[in-house]
Structure 1
Amino acid sequence: MAGLTVAALGVVGFLGYQAAATAPDHPTQARPGSHASQSKEKDKDRGRQKKKSTALPAASGTGERVVYALDDKRVWLVGADGKATRTFEVGPSPASPDPGTYAVTSRNEGGVGSDGVQVEHVVVFHSEGGVVFGFSAAVDGSMPDPNARKRTGAVRESRADGSALWEFAEVGTKVVVIP
């Protein structure tokens, strides 16, 4: 019986060692030029790119508008003077509108999103092929699943950002979607 206990402890210890060595919060030293080293360099590059994305893109139109950058997953609220008053990250859904200029067509204080989630501050700016594109904030703070099979046009932001967009974007406000 003691032999089985010792063997079991040995297996548990080995499995714990393997888990600790491969866990993301226990990084291992990477040799220069190794795959892990290259991955870290790519992560650093992504971080640099992300910092750049907070600046209002030059080719995003003029005047008062909402700018939605698909690749950056970011929105800017731009005043009449052409200066961004707020920017924030968003969570896109499986469907995205084509780049172009749209206008807010409707607003709704709350309801259920096309993905079945309770939402507030819904600002709709386009519909195409049965998909309605708009900004909203999930009451529970969740973001849409970009890999979901159902094509929805929900662009989700935090509740605070949703409130700011709601105050900014009245019906008729320009929405510029860029790649």
Structure 2
Amino acid sequence: MRSVARSSSGAMVAVLTAVALTGVGFLAYQADAAPGRPHAAASASPSGSGKSSSGQDSAGKDKPAQDPATAVPANSGTGKRVVYALAAKRVWLVGANGQATRSFEVAPSAVNPPPGSYKVTSRTPTGNGSDGVPIEHIVRFHRDAAGVVFGFSAAVDGSSPKPSATQKTGGVREQPADGRAMWEFAVSGASVVVVP
């Protein structure tokens, strides 16, 4: 008789435990679905990128802002183009979507081209600069009334020109890796925009 009582009391404990767990689960569900409380799925980033709509990532850090020194200059045209900023001594290779694919500093010669829009007129794989240094990836885009030719090139040895006040030259010297990138980007007829 005692074993029957023991097994029925054990069954009773099991039933009560199951009922209690069900009740706790139901209360947890109600608390999660209560009005005014954001659902866990709704508070997650919809893109899955960890960025919130406030411009911060999930760790609370601000998104890095674009560096104003390397941002494509305003009023430099649209579409695929080379942008050359005279004062900044910097070039941007800008894709059709308006985003720069590459930006780099350059070393101009004694004479600057006037601001405006130009087209690549000729290209030569190798040659010699006005300073006698072997150059490569020569991309020309303008010849002024005085016969000064303006173009981009890179010294084979990576050197920068030393502009002479007596020589009126318009070469814009790049580093070799930048010269290769310009050569691949600025095919004949490509747009070159010069800004102040």
Q: Please, what TM-score do these two structures have when normalized by structure 1? A: 0.70
> Residue type matched to 2:79 in 1?
G
**Matched AA of 2:163:** P
Question: 4+ runs of 1 displaced by more than 4 Å?
Answer: none
CA distance in 2 between partners of 1:151 and 1:138 (Å): 19
The answer (yes or no) to whether the contact 1:115–1:152 under 8 Å persists in 2 is no
Partner of 2:30: none
1:56 to 66, 72, 81: 72
SS at match of 1:164: helix
**TM-score, normalised by the number of residues in structure 2:** 0.64
Residue-by-residue CA offset, 1:85-139 (whole Å, 9 max, x unaligned): 0000000110000000000000000011223221000000001111110000001
CA distance in 1, matches of 2:107, 2:174: 6
Structure with more contact order per residue of length (Cα contacts < 8 Å, sep ≥ 6)? 1
Q: Secondary structure at the match of 2:107?
A: coil
1:137 corresponding residue in structure 2: 154
Alpha-carbon distance, 1:52 to partner:
2.7
Separation in 1 of the partners of 2:129 and 2:154?
9
Aligned to 1:166: 183
- Percent identity, aligned pairs only, is 65
1:111 aligns with 2:130: no
> Structure 1 residue 101 and structure 2 residue 117: aligned?
yes
The amino acid across from 1:66 in the alignment is V
* Residues 149 and 52 (structure 1), Cα distance of their counterparts in 2 relative to 1, 3 Å cut: farther
Determine if contact 1:66/1:175 at 8 Å carries over to the other structure: yes
Look up the match of 1:156: 173
In structure 1, give the amino acid aligned to 2:97.
D
RMSD after superposition: 1.1
CA displacement 1:123-157 (0-9 Å, x = unmatched): 00001111110000001111112354211111001
Q: Distance in 2 between matches of 1:150 and 1:171?
A: 27
- Distance in 1, matches of 2:122 and 2:165, equals 25
User: Which 10-residue stretch deviates more, 124-133 or 144-153?
Assistant: 144-153
* Distance across 2 between alignment mates of 1:68 and 1:158: 15
Specify the SS of the correspondent of 1:52.
Answer: coil
Unmatched 5+ stretches in structure 2: 1-66
